[in-house]
Structure 1
Amino acid sequence: AQSQTPPVLPMPPVPASPDIPRGVTPPVPVIGVISVPEVMRLSSAAQQAEKVLGARRDELARDAQKEQAGWRDEQQKLQAEAKNLASDQIQQRERRLQQRVISAQRDFRNRNRIIQEAAQVSLNQIERELVQIIRQVAASRGMNLVLHREQVALSQDGLDITSQVADQLNKVLPSVFIPAANVDPEQLAKSGTMPTTADAERAPAAAAAPVVASHR
């Protein structure tokens, strides 16, 4: 296909930007690096959450497989007995099986949502604590900029605060609150027994320094 010539479009004038008065010179960067994935790997709270929630995921998978096997057995049984059943009996049993499948799928989706939200509750605690500790460790070392180690091509050992942050995280937050398996996190949030993510959104933003550069 031949390339099309781009159309000629209007280009309205834009105002010239006026000179900007000289501002305050930013501080000299004192840089540190951290590996958040390694901190999470070393975190006893993260290990606890993964163990507990992993067991719940495994149980859900087993229950789903068992239920699916039951559907297949029922379908095969119906097929084997169909020649001895009236059409309305066949339709009735098919409807019951369909209702069973729909109900079970709804239940499994809900259980999966509860597990995922419990994981979010757990991770949120670690992330909030981690932000505080990174700031504290960086401030104690005179750092005002912390970069993700995975984005840095070269750094000296003295700049890496990963181990110190992980040690402090395990001291301050050795474990996290994980909603019980039979508790819906959304219902727990509505109970008023503890702060919620909605409360955090309404709260004023925390002070920003030192900056941890984003992965994005």
Structure 2
Amino acid sequence: MQVSIFQTAVRAAALSAAISAGLFLAAPVAFAQEAPKPDAAKAAEAAKAAELKAPVIAVIDVQKVMQESNASKSITKSFEALRDTYQKEISGLEDKLRKGEDELRKQQTVLSADALANKRRDFEKQVADVQKTVQTRKRVLETTLNDAMAVVHKTMVEVVADIARERGANLVLARQQFVLVDTQLDVTDAVMDRVNKKLPQVALNVPKQ
């Protein structure tokens, strides 16, 4: 009987979002008399207000911040230690199963049919328990990593918003979308510096087993 060995991998994900909204106002219909026309000054003011602002662009390498910030490195280190702990646990359980399987094979010629059937049922239950443990540990690893990286991402977005306001930028784009970018538009280093100061590390929130 063979038990699968679980593996996990750390993946860094880059995220960028664009939000657009539309507002529709219904104009009142005049039946008795025609609504007065706005004067030229008001019309010009309304037209000016309706104009879209010229885009002021900032660019950030999201993947770099999510992978190389101090907080992300601390998460990776803690995650790898937790993964290794679980791997050792699972390896120990698998060794125990292999020994149990060998013992069961040796007893096939000396046990009665009923006794052998009971032994086999017990062994199969042990296998099911180990498989359940593997899946539980894998789920814990994935959830713990995702939750920790979400904290880093949230902090990064807050920092980007602050820097965008300071620079008057109204459009922030992900660096991965472009081949060439003017270094004056790139705010990655500034974001990295502030994220490191604001969030030097993130502890893994591992649920109790």
TM-score, structure 2 normalization: 0.72
The sequence identity of aligned pairs, in percent, is 27
- Residue 113 of structure 1, CA deviation: 1.6
- Tell me which of 110, 113, 120 is aligned to 1:87: 113
Counterpart CA distance in 1 for 2:60 and 2:205 is: 30
Counterpart CA distance in 1 for 2:126 and 2:92 is: 13
Residue number in structure 1 paired with 2:185: 159
The answer as to whether partners of 2:57 and 2:171 remain within 8 angstroms in 1 is yes
Residue number in structure 2 paired with 1:135: 161
- Tell me which of 63, 79, 82 is aligned to 2:89: 63
Counterpart CA distance in 1 for 2:194 and 2:145 is: 22
Counterpart CA distance in 2 for 1:183 and 1:74 is: 29
- Residue 39 of structure 1, CA deviation: 0.9
- Residue 48 of structure 1, CA deviation: 0.9
Q: Which runs of 4+ in 1 moved over 4 A?
A: none
- For the residue of structure 1 that corresponds to 2:194, the secondary structure is helix
The answer as to whether partners of 2:66 and 2:153 remain within 8 angstroms in 1 is no
Deviation string, structure 1 residues 179-212 (Cα, Å, up to 9, x no partner): 24x536xxxxxxxxxxxxxxxxxxxxxxxxxxxx
Residue number in structure 1 paired with 2:80: 54
Q: Letter of the 2:67 partner, please give it.
A: R
Residue number in structure 1 paired with 2:142: 116
Q: Give runs of aligned pairs for residues 1-216 of structure 1, distance below 5 A.
A: 24-180=50-206, 183=208
Deviation string, structure 1 residues 26-74 (Cα, Å, up to 9, x no partner): 1100111111111123211111111111111122122222222221221
Q: Which has the higher contact order (CA 8 A, sep 6+)?
A: 2
TM-score, structure 1 normalization: 0.70
- Residue 128 of structure 1, CA deviation: 1.1
Aligned residue pair count = 163
Q: Letter of the 2:61 partner, please give it.
A: S
